[in-house]
Every structure is written in C-alpha cells, then in structure tokens.
Structure 1
Amino acid sequence: MAELGQGKIIKVSGPVVLADEMTDAKMYDVVRVGDANLIGEIVELDSGRASIQVYEDTTGVGPGEPVKNTGAPLSVELGPGLVSSIYDGIQRPLDVLYELEGSFIERGNAVPGLSRDKKWEFKPVLEDGEEVSPGDIIGEVQESSLLLHKIMVPPGVSGKLKGLKSGSFTVEDTICQVEQAGGEPADITLMQKCPVRTPRQPGKRLKPNRAMITGQRVIDTFFPLGLGGTACVPGPFGTGKTVVQHQLAKWIDADIVVYIGCGERGNEMTDVLTEFPELKDPKSGKPLMERVVLIANTSNMPVAAREASVYTGITIAEYFRDMGYKVAIMADSTSRWAEAMREISTRLEEMPAEEGYPAYLGARIASFYERAGRVSCLGKPEREGCLSIIGAVSPPGGDLSDSVVQSTLHVVKVFWSLQSKLAQQRHFPAIDWLTSYSFYKQYLKESFEDDEIAGKMDGMIAEAMALLEQEADLLEIVRLVGSEAISSNDQVALKTSKSIREDYLHQNAFHKVDTYTSLKKQYAMLELILYMHKKALEAVKKGHDASKVFRLEVADDIARAKYIPEEQIESIEEIKQKIDQEIQNM
C-alpha cells in the first residue's frame, strides 16, 4: 500500500467517519481507518476534510486514530479464480475467511480476492513480436470445465509482445511484457485490477438481436428479455421475487451468471449456496457452480459494503462480457441497495429527496442499468459479448409508486410485475400478465430456428393475450349476472383463458420436468391449447354445450402436457388427434 499521507479521525457516525488533514486525498480513494485497519472509501472532500464510507463495523473506533490513504480507488481483482467463488460486497472471499477465522469474521483483514498460491495452466494464442492493444486476447486458461478464461491485454497498454511463455503461473506471475512506444515495458499477468465505479469501456454498442431464453413460459412467451437487456422484478413480500431470480440464474441462456445478494436475508443466499453446487448445467450436465460467481452482502452484513456490492458484481460481469461471453446479473434486491445509499446520504447530512432517499437516487440506478448491453468487444479477435441485468425490487407493501420502483422503471425495458393475489392463489411465477410488459418482444421471433414457426408463435401469443384480456372483462360480468348469462363463445373464451393460466403460465419451479421449458415445447403447448379453443368454438357452433366440451377426457391430457419430457414433445401432437376424436364422438 503506497502511503500518500495520514489523516486523523475527528468524528464517527455509524458507517461514516469524518477525517481531517487528508490533503493528498482524492474522491473515491480507498483508505484504512483507525488502529483496527478498517477498509473505507472517501465519498466527500472539503478542504482536506474527508467523509469516509467504512465497509466494516466501526464500533470502538474513535477520534484521534489514524487514517491512511492508499491513493487508489475501490477496485476488484479480475482473473482466473473468480468462477465458483463467493465474495462479500468488496470482493473478500468468504470461503477463505471462514477457513481462516471461523464463523465470525474479524475486522481489518486484507485477504485478496484471488488466490496468490494457486497455479493456472496458461496457453498463449499469440506469438512474440506481435502488436497488441487493449482487449486483445493473448492466451487462455481452462478455469473450469464450463469456462475457458481468456487473458486480455489490460486497458491503457499497447505495443509489441515480448517474452510470451506458456506454463503454470499464479495470478501475480509475469507471463510476458508489452514494449510500449516511448514508455517503460508493461508487465502482463493473469490478473487485472479494475475500478468498480467506472464502467469498463467496450467497443461499439449493438442492438439486441434475439431474446435471452430463460425456460420460464410466462417470461419467454409474453415478456421476453432481450440479449443484453434490462429487467425489473418488483413485488411485495412473499410473491416469489427470489424464486424467480433463482430460476433465472439456473436456466437463463448465459455463459456466466453473477448473483448479487445485496441486502436480502442470509437464508436466501444459503439456499443458493446449497442448491447450486448440486444443480447440473442444462447444456453440459456439469455442476452449475462452474459458471457462477456469488456476491453475498446480506442484511446482517455491513450496510456500506452493500452499497458497493452491485458495483463489484457488475465490474466482474463486464470483465467476462469483454471476453465475448453472454453474462447475466441477478441483483436481489436493489431496494436494499438503495436503502444503503439512503443511510450513507443521511450520515453525510445531504438534503433528502422523496421518502428520504438522496436526490441522486435515479441517476445512480440509471448508471447501474446502463452498464448492460450487447457490445462489440475491444481488441482482437473480433467477438461479441452481452451483459443482461435482472434486478429485484422490494417496495414496502408492494407499492409500485415507491421511489426505487419508479426510478428503475424509467430505465429498464422489461417489467415483470409480481402480484400478491396470484401468490395467494398459489399461482407461480406470480407475474401478472395484464400489467407486465416487455420492449423486446420483436426479438423473440429471431430466437426460433424455423421462420414459419416463429411467425405462427407471434400470432398465437397475440391470440392468447387477447383471450386473457377478454377474460378480465368477462369475469366482471360473471360476478354480477352469473356465467349462464354470457354467450357460448364467451364461455369458451373463459375456459380457454383458464387453461392458459393454469396449464401454461403456471410453472412448478421444483418439478424436475416443469422447471424448464424449451422454446420448442412452449410453441407445442400453446398451439395445443389454442387448437382446443378452435375445436371448442366449432363444437359450440354445432350446438354442443361449452362446459361439456371442456369436461372431455382430453382436457386432463392438456393440463398434463407441461409434465411431458422435452425428448417426448412429439406426443403433444397425439393429444391434438385425441381432441378431434373426442369432439367428433360427442
């Protein structure tokens, strides 16, 4: 640590410490606070007096103790060893700390984010003498069976490669040098350090070209997430926000998943830690943890570090995006992150805005979600990467007028609205199809391999949504005058809508088959339900009773179609033939 100067504490207020004589300090410098050597970050400067956001418990720290400036911003270590790790909000490895200190972690430790002892097998893909620039891939490390870690030239380094070698190296060993024009040679290691509050600069930003498939029918069919898109999952307590986040982390079509537990309860992160190592990656059958990075800063951990946790997570995600991978971030929950900002702002005695949140709340949320996107990566070879962000929001009482919800909705393009009434009816995912929306719907068609099927699916989605909207209107009439007062066609619409809700939109996250549905099966299931609707209308037109049509034996087969394994999708076609036979025999 380069000691640039030493101040002294003059006031302690919770996680914020006021220090004097900080003449050499800059905004967002990392400092070591007090005799306990606590880690903190300067968040306000005024004539040599610094307000420091301390990432550890400040109990027992008092005026007069020293404050040492490191002269560097809060940064993360990026390199082999990230995958399968669990970090706290400032990238301290919790598993390593547990081994060293037990269940109760001491303050002031300085355990690095990446192991300094473990050696990695490095294979170069370039040769000595080649010209390189920032982002160029110079070699590879097989970090896990699911991830080929690509070693890139760090930002600000360009020139000619010298001394490139293969072999086993730690993250601090020099693997080559870059001779820079008019400057000192730059040592290249397997590790980079990157400030968390400054976005990593990609190449050109690109439009989403298809949907990011999640295997969740209500999401993929009606409210898809675009490649490199942003989504918000607000809802009151008990509506299944965390289960939705867990499902997406398990099944989303991403090469890397970064799961940030910023402020949620410890038992929810425990579920992730116990479930994920046992889960198999759907594509390879290998353990899912081999492509997951976990960041845990739960509600009983330091508030100030919670504020930094989302930046730690998204910087790690940008690093993998720059390799050319599809990356998905789950932030659970951004409300707790905003509450941490509010507490820090209060301690700094800033003027509060609505509900006590700082006036810059909207700007901070926007700057976080704006780091998502599909991009053309810097450097050679040419490659594309994407970073998608799914943020859960926990407004008090499910109030969607909450400041955090509204600030989030201004910037995200997908809104999955979780409703208490659906959760109380045991309808999960409890995403309300009448109030949710997605601006990426046009990209779902690009996700199908067959253009004809893509066109049909588009029409079926419109028809299904029209039926669900019609149901909402008809239910009001039925409550007033009874179902016998509506026409036979309307009765068929009600029965079909019920089938869409219960047999299609309802999905069991804990059933080994129903937990994930491919696009091919989603198409077959929705086509089956709408085929039954068409045949029921034809039967009613011939004089048959609508309720009798939906009491046929085949109705049970439609309800059980969700449990048909992916490899037996063809059997759904047989149910359509059964529909024809039973209606013909009425």
Structure 2
Amino acid sequence: MANTVYSINGPVVKIKDTKDFSMLEMVYVGKEKLMGEVISISKNLTTIQVYESTAGLKVNDEVVGTKMPVSVSLAPGILTHIFDGIERPLETIALTHGAYMSKGSDVEQLNSEKQWDITFKVKKGDEVFGGMIYATTPETSLIEHRFLIPSHIKGTVIEVLENGNHTINEVALKVELEDKTIKEVTFLQKWPIKTPRPILERLPISVPLITGQRVIDTLFPIAKGGTAALPGGFGTGKTMMQHQLAKWCDADIIVYIGCGERGNEMTQVLEEFRELIDPKTHKSLMERTVLIANTSNMPVAAREASIYTGLTIAEYYRDMGYHVAVMADSTSRWAEALREISGRLEEMPAEEGFPAYLPSRISQFYERAGLVTTLNQKEGSVSIIGAVSPQGSDFSEPVTQNTKRFVRCFWALDKQLAYERHYAAVNWNLSYSEYMLDLAPWYNEFVSPQFLEDRKQMMAILAEENKLLEIVKLIGSDVLPDDQKLIIEIGKVIRLGYLQQNAFHKEDTYVPLEKQLKMMNVILYLYKEAKKFIQSDKALSLLLKTGIFEQLVKIKYDVENNKLEKLDEYYNLIDKSIQTIR
C-alpha cells in the first residue's frame, strides 16, 4: 500500500501508520517529487522535513522512500560551480527553468556527459584499500582531482579501465574483496551529508592559516584545521572580510556557503567571486572555489542541508590531501531555520525560542574541522570560519554565545569601527585566539622569536590605551602626564598604521608575515625612543610636531611588499627626528 501525506505544516509533512521509513532517509514527496528527509518516527506518525516549497502539496499525495540518506555526489566537476543547498547546479537550472527554480527540478547534480582525461595509478592485480588514490584528472588548471577507493572496500583489482577520456558514471575498476565478492567502483561516489568522512587520525594543530590580514595573523591567528567565529551586526563587514580571507588565505580550496543571506548580496558574492583573480597563480579564483548558495527566500529547511553539503565537499577534497577553508555566511540564518522547523514540530523551545539542541548542532558543525592524516597517509585539513549575525549586534544572544563555546578564535566585528571606516573592523578588546600557544613554535621557527614578543608588547599598549581613553572621555587629555599621552599616540599609530588595512590598495590588501614583523619593530622602536626622550625631561609635544608619528602611519602604503629593506630607513628617520629637537 502506498504511503501518503497525512498533514502539511510548512516544510513539515507527516505520514500516518507506516513502518516503511527509517531515520534520516531521503524521500520524494508528491507528484513533483519534492526532496525531503525523515526526521522523526513515532508509533503512529512519521515526520519529514521537505527541502523545497510545499505550496500545492495536498493530503493523500504519495511519498516514496529511497532507502538511502540525503547524500551529495562527489566527482570532478564540483569546483568552479554554484550549487543550491542540496547540490543542484544553479547554472544548469537557470538554462532550463529560467531565473526562478521550479519545484522538484529534476536535474543531475554533476554533469554525467562530460569527458575527463583520467590517468590510473593502479593496475590489475594491485591491492587497494579504502581512501587510496587510484586515479587522477586535472579538474581545473589549478587543482588535480584524486579519485579515492570507497572507505569500505579492501581487496584486489581484477579489472581496470585504460587511461583516457571517461565520464563519471563509468565503472573505473572492479575489486575482489577478501570474501571473494566483486565490487564495482565508479568515478562518481555518493556520501551522506550528515556523516563525517573517515580519517586515520587527528593531528595536533601546529601551523597557522596565513591570511595576509595583520589584525588576524598578528593578534588573533587561526590555525590550519582550526575554527573561527566572525560575529558582527549589519554593515560591519562580515562578507567583505570573508572575501578577503577566501582570496588571500593559503588554503588550496575554498568552499563558500551562503546560508540564508539576502538574494542581492548573494548575487554580488557570486559576481565578485567570478571576477577575483587568484594572487598566487593569476588565474580565476573560481578554479579552486565551490559556492553553495541558499538565499533567504529559498525553502527554510534547505539551509540546514547547505551547511552539511558544503562541509562534506570540503572533507572530500581534504581526503585527497588538500587544505580546505570553509566560509559559512551566516550560521545565524541556519539557527533561525532550526528554530522555525522546531516550532512547526511543536518542540519545547529553549532560550529566545531556539530549540534545546542548538548547542549540540553548532558543536557538530565546528567539530568537523581539523588537521588530519587521511586514509591514504596524506595530510589535509578543513578550517571553518563561520559568520554570525546577532540581531542588533547583541553578542549575548544564544547563537553567538554557543558558537563562542565551540570555536577557539573569536573575531568580534565592531559597528563603531565600521562606521569610522576602520577595516577590518575587528575589536581588539573583545576578540581572542586560543591558538597562540599551539602556533608559537611555528612563529619562532619560520618567522622570528621577536614576532611574539612584539605582539605581546602591542597588545599591552592597546589594553593600556583603552583604559586611558576612558579617562580622557571624562576629564580630557590635558591632565595626563606625557608618558600616558605617549601610550595614546603610539596606540593611534598601531590602530591606524597597523590594524587598519585597505583591501583596495595593492600593497596593503595582503601583507606577508615578514613585513608585519618589520612594521611592528619600527613602531615599537619609536615607542622605546620616545619613552627615553620623555624620561630626559623633554615635552612629547615637541616630538609630535616633527610629524614622525604620521609618517609611521603611512608605512603600510609607502613600503612595497617586495622592497622591505626600505623599512630599515625608518630607524634613522626616528633617530633624526629626536636629534633635531635636542
């Protein structure tokens, strides 16, 4: 007997008196075969969340099970493309259905007709195991796609295709397992989006993800395989910062997940990503990028799927031995989707109406990051940078607070800094990174032990400046002694000359660690010499008149990244400025 719809409540559909479905099974609902997932089973009712609009669906419409969980297709053809939350290619749908997606769009996730030039690494008689690389193909001019043996297969190759052009649905090889059964391995694999892909072992975090953004690399670094939250209210520059990180961070592959963002903003992201040039190779950034687009007017349930779809794709490339950076913008919209569906399921609400399982869902998401040894003994990583959009910039709301519990890097974006045109608008008093101790050996070995000493001194100056500015607000700066005025002046040089960065300036958009270190050295040298100057009973106002403080603010523009020796000239300039007063 066919299973039919018993009740419909938005994206939540119920079936009565059936035992044909299992938890997390993918199903097709109604005549249009809307994709859904079983999320609850009781004695009398089976509950399904539908990933598409249920408008037009009726009671007694048929529901068909697939006996498999919601999965993504993994094969060459993922990079350079734009998918929706359930991995349907939006460009292909646009060609066949126009600007608006029709429901149940029956379109294959990856192009099964395209031929790929595949080179095999195994031959007949070879022993293979789960995760082993058995073939490769150039997916783009930047990324080599490495085909992996499915994790549950171990045996002997008894048949293999020849090198040459093949489509993803072809049987690549046949493997005889230890129990003498024969398994066919196709180039295309399916993987359930809510199941983390297996690894050999998790490695301790030890290498930073270099971004070229001074406020991050110097003050609040993130590690490869690490997690970071990027909370900020409307207009604080979350999306802009994620663009910068996507363009400049030293990850091999970028997975950008636009989860529940405004349609016009998502369009802008898609257009800008197409125009971005990879600074390392001078080719299109899209050649190592995949975009998952799920706008705010798309079905709410698909937002949850989009997060897991992007993560599964990231883990797939990690298993090939790549370092992958996941940009999720924004996890707040995902949490709102959970809240809406939870309400329709009539679950008991917790804080601010969010479901009680919100913390566990957020932790499951961030726990899939990590630096790992893959099944084929390669090293790969997934780093997750999740934007959070607290309403009214209120960081005490549940999504921000629960995210803070599970990430080790917190880049708090400040509305006031953004209004002052200070980008990146990371508030150095609220932000932190717990990776500093893990990364200290790397900085000491590959940059300089001086780097962390300078960082510590700069953080102390900024903290002291913050206290003094509170006093200045109350009683003015005239009453402060010169040594405290110096803290404020050097703090200003650090804020404007070091932490503030211009994404549109060719020398300032990306700054190598070597230049960051030399800039810190020069600024702190000025602080040390100015301190001596004041201690010799000279007035700070005399030193300010020389204009040396303003000159140091402009270092970031005046010194080119490939001519760092120019920075050494500033030591003499500082000495001369002080000597002219004496």
Q: TM-score with structure 1 length normalisation? A: 0.96
Superposition map of 1:291-306 within 5 A:
291-306=288-303
Q: Which whole-Å CA distance do the structure 2 matches of 1:6 and 1:32 have between them?
A: 13
Asked if 1:440 is matched to 2:435, the reply is yes
Q: Which residue in the other structure is 2:83 paired with?
A: 87
Point out the more displaced range, 328-337 or 22-31: 22-31
Give yes or no for the alignment of 1:466 onto 2:460: yes
Match runs of 1:58-137 below 5 Å: 58-137=54-133
2:280 corresponds, among 278, 283, 286, to: 283
Looking at structure 2, the residues matched to 286 and 446 of structure 1 have their Cα atoms a distance apart, in angstroms, of: 34
Helix, strand or coil for the counterpart of 2:478?
helix
Aligned length in residues: 579
Worse overlay, 558-567 or 388-397:
558-567
Amino acid at match of 1:267: N
Of residues 167, 170, 175 in structure 2, which corresponds to 1:173? Answer: 170
- Residue 555 of structure 1 deviates from its aligned partner by 3.1
Among residues 172, 192, 195, which one is paired with 1:195 in the alignment? 192
Q: In the TM superposition, what are the counterparts of 1:133-152 in structure 2 within 5 Å?
A: 133-152=129-148
In the alignment, the residues of structure 2 paired with residue 444 and residue 216 of structure 1 have an alpha-carbon distance, to the nearest angstrom, of 17
Aligned pair partner of 1:429 in 424, 427, 439? 424
Matches within 5 A, 1:78-477: 78-164=74-160, 165-379=162-376, 382-448=377-443, 453-477=447-471
Shift of 1:298: 1.1
1:561-576 counterparts in 2 under 5 A? Answer: 561-563=555-557, 564-576=559-571
Equivalent position SS for 1:410: helix
Indicate the residue corresponding to 2:574 in structure 1: 579
Aligned-residue offset at 1:444: 4.0
In 2, the alpha carbon distance for the partners of 1:163 and 1:495 equals 73
Counterpart residue identity of residue 358, structure 2: L
1:479 paired to 2:479: no
SS at 1:8's partner residue?
Answer: strand
Distance 1:447 1:572 in 2: 24
**One-letter code aligned to 1:200:** R
Could you tell me which residue of structure 1 aligns to residue 47 of structure 2? 51
Partner secondary structure for residue 570 of structure 1 = helix
Deviation at 1:442, TM superposition (A): 2.5
Q: CA–CA distance in 2 between the matches of 1:409 and 1:149?
A: 35
- Contact between 1:508 and 1:514, CA under 8 Å: does it hold in 2? yes
Unaligned 5+ segments in structure 1 are none
| Cα separation, partners in 2 of 1:523 and 1:471, compared to 1, 3 Å | same
Q: Secondary structure at the match of 2:195?
A: coil
- DSSP-derived class of the 2:60 partner: coil
Contact 2:275 2:284 in 1 (8 A): yes
Could you tell me which amino acid in structure 2 is paired with residue 559 of structure 1?
Answer: V
2:485 aligned to which of 479, 491, 496: 491
> Bigger CA drift: 385-394 or 571-580?
571-580
Distance 1:426 1:347 in 2: 42
Matched with 2:528 is 534
Distance 2:395 2:210 in 1: 27
Q: Do 1:263 and 1:333's aligned partners in 2 also have CA atoms closer than 8 Å? A: yes
1: CA distance, partners of 2:540 / 2:410: 35
Q: Specify the alignment match of 2:5 in structure 1.
A: 9
Q: Distance in 2 between matches of 1:337 and 1:14?
A: 17
Q: Does the 8 Å contact 2:136/2:147 carry over to 1?
A: yes
* 1:516-566 deviation digits (Å, cap 9, x = unpaired): 111111111111111111121122223332133133243333122112321
One-letter amino acid matched to 1:6: A
Partner Cα separation in structure 1 for residue 453 and residue 544 of structure 2? 24
Contact 1:557 1:575 in 2 (8 A): no
Whether the 8 Å contact between 2:348 and 2:355 is mirrored in structure 1 is yes
Unmatched runs of 5 consecutive residues or more in structure 2 = none
Q: Aligned partners of 1:80 and 1:20: how far apart in 2?
A: 41
> What is the SS of the residue equivalent to 1:485?
coil
Change (3 A) 1:207 1:491: same
**1:344 alignment partner AA:** I
Post-superposition Cα deviations, 1:417-449, rounded to whole Å, max 9, x if no partner, equal 112221222211111111111111124444448
Q: Quote the offset at 1:22 in angstroms.
A: 3.5
Query: 1:547 is matched with which residue?
Result: 541
Whether the 8 Å CA contact 1:6–1:21 is kept in 2: the answer is no
- TM-superposed CA distance for 1:155, in Å, is 1.7
Q: Percentage identity across aligned positions?
A: 47
Residue 289 of structure 2 aligns with an amino acid whose one-letter code is V
Distance 1:224 1:550 in 2: 33
* TM-score for both structures, normalised by structure 2: 0.97
The answer on whether the counterparts of 2:443 and 2:452 sit within 8 Å (CA) in structure 1 is: no
* CA-CA distance at 1:177 after TM superposition: 1.1
C-alpha distance in 2 between matches for 1:504 and 1:343: 43
Matches of 1:278 and 1:569, distance apart in 2: 30
Root-mean-square deviation over aligned CA pairs: 1.5
What secondary structure sits across from 2:124 in the alignment? Answer: coil
2:443, 2:449 within 8 Å by CA — same for their partners in 1?
A: no
AA matched with 1:565: E
Deviation at 1:226, TM superposition (A): 1.1
Secondary structure of 2:13's counterpart equals strand
AA aligned opposite 1:151: F
| C-alpha distance in structure 2 between counterparts of 1:152 and 1:335, whole Å | 34
Task: Check whether the contact 1:210–1:445 (CA below 8 A) recurs between aligned residues.
Answer: no
Q: CA deviation at 1:277?
A: 2.0
2:387 and 2:2 map into 1 onto residues whose CA distance is 41
Which 10-residue stretch deviates more, 474-483 or 517-526?
Answer: 474-483
Q: CA deviation at 1:249?
A: 1.2
Structure 1 residue 60 displacement after superposition: 1.0
> Does 2:553 align with 1:559?
yes
Code of the residue aligned with 2:409 in structure 1: it is V
| TM-aligned CA deviation for residue 244 of structure 1 | 1.4
1:579 shift after superposition? 1.5
Once the 2 structures are TM-superposed, how far is the Cα of residue 195 of structure 1 from its aligned partner? 0.1
Aligned residues of 1:409 and 1:415 also touching (Cα < 8 A) = yes
Which stretch of the first structure deviates more once superposed, 92-101 or 553-562?
Answer: 553-562
Match of 1:525 in 2: 519
- Asked whether the equivalents of residues 89 and 295 of structure 1 are also in contact (C-alpha less than 8 Å), the reply is yes
Distance of 2:389 and 2:57 partners within structure 1: 33
Relative to structure 1, the CA distance from residue 203 to residue 551 in structure 2 (aligned partners, 3 Å threshold; closer, same or farther) is farther
Q: Check 1:148–1:115 CA distance in 2 against 1; reply closer, same or farther (3 A cut).
A: same
Q: Displacement, 1:196?
A: 0.3
Q: How many Å separate the matches in 1 of 2:306 and 2:141?
A: 27
Larger CA deviation: 71-80 vs 468-477: 468-477
Q: Name the CA distance, whole Å, in 1 between partners of 2:108 and 2:504.
A: 37
Q: CA deviation at 1:242?
A: 1.4
* Matched letter for residue 541 of structure 1: Q
